[in-house]
Amino acid sequence: MTMMKKMIKPALLALAISMTLGSTLATAAERNTTGTLAIHGFQPLLPLVGAKGELKPGAEVTISDEYYAYFDRDNKPGTDSEKDISKDEEKAIIQWYIRNESDAAAALPLPADAWGTGLTFTIPFVDKDGNDIDYANERKILSFRIVPLTENGLPDIGKAVEVKNSVILAGSVVPTDVPPSELPVIPDNPYTPGEDPTAPGDRTPEVTGPGGNNPPTDPDGPSDGSGVIYPSGDGFLVRIAYAKLDTNGAVIINATTGLPELDLDRIVYDDLADATKTKLIDPVDAYGNRLLDADGITELAQIPVSLKTPTIPTVKAQYAVAIYEAKRDENGNFLRDATTNAVLVKEDEGVPINMVGAFKNSIKWTLGASGQQGAPTLTTPASNELMSEFDGELIFNTQENNDVAKAVSSVASEQGLVIGVTFEDNIAAPINRGTAPAAPIETPAE
Q: What is the residue extent of each domain of the chain?
A: 45-208, 233-425
Residue 191, pLDDT score: 43
Q: What is the pLDDT of residue 323?
A: 96
pLDDT tops 50 at residue 199: no
Cα angle: 276, vertex 280, 285; to 5 degrees: 120
Res. 389: pLDDT tops 70: no
Whether residue 436 has pLDDT greater than 50: no
Q: Averaged over 383-410, what is the pLDDT?
A: 58
Q: What is the mean pLDDT of the chain?
A: 81
Q: What is the pLDDT of residue 181?
A: 78
Picking from 134-138, 174-178, 316-320, 402-406, which range would have the lowest pLDDT averaged per residue?
Answer: 402-406
Q: What is the pLDDT of residues 17-54, one digit of tens each?
A: 555 555 555 578 998 999 999 999 899 999 889 999 99
Res. 442: pLDDT tops 70: no
Of residues 234, 215, 235, the one with CA closest to residue 225: 215
Distance CA 160, CA 149 (A): 9
Closest CA to 114 of 212, 106, 157, 124: 124
The whole-angstrom separation of Cα 17 and Cα 13 is: 6
Q: What are phi and psi of 21, to 5 degrees?
A: -65, -40
Please answer whether residues 270 and 279 qualify as being in contact, where contact means their C-beta atoms are separated by less than 8 angstroms: no
Number of helical H runs and strand E runs in the chain: 6, 18
- Between 13 and 330, where is the model more confident? 330
Q: What is the mean pLDDT of residues 147-157?
A: 91
Residue 390 has pLDDT above 50, yes or no: no
Q: What is the pLDDT of residues 44-97, one digit of tens each?
A: 999 889 999 999 999 999 999 988 989 888 876 556 667 899 999 999 999 999
Whether the Cβ atoms of residue 198 and residue 50 lie closer than 8 Å to each other: no
pLDDT at 16: 54
pLDDT at 341: 96
Does the structure show a pLDDT above 60 at 189?
Answer: no
Q: Is residue 287 scored above 70 in pLDDT?
A: yes
Instruction: Count CB atoms within 10 A of the CB of residue 103.
Output: 17
Distance CA 176, CA 195 (A): 9
Mean pLDDT of 295-304: 94
pLDDT at site 232: 81
The CA distance from 5 to 375, in Å, is: 135
Asked which of 13-27, 64-78, 111-125, 359-373 is least confident by mean pLDDT, the reply is: 13-27
Task: Tell me the CA distances in angstroms from 43 to 77, 104, 169, 362, one per residue in order.
Answer: 17, 27, 21, 53
Q: How confident is the model at residue 380 (pLDDT cuts 50, 70, 90)?
A: very low
d(CA 95, CA 115) in angstroms, rounded, equals 7
Beta strand 207-208 with 45-54 is parallel
- The predicted-structure confidence for 250-269, as pLDDT tens digits, reads as follows 889 999 888 999 999 999 99
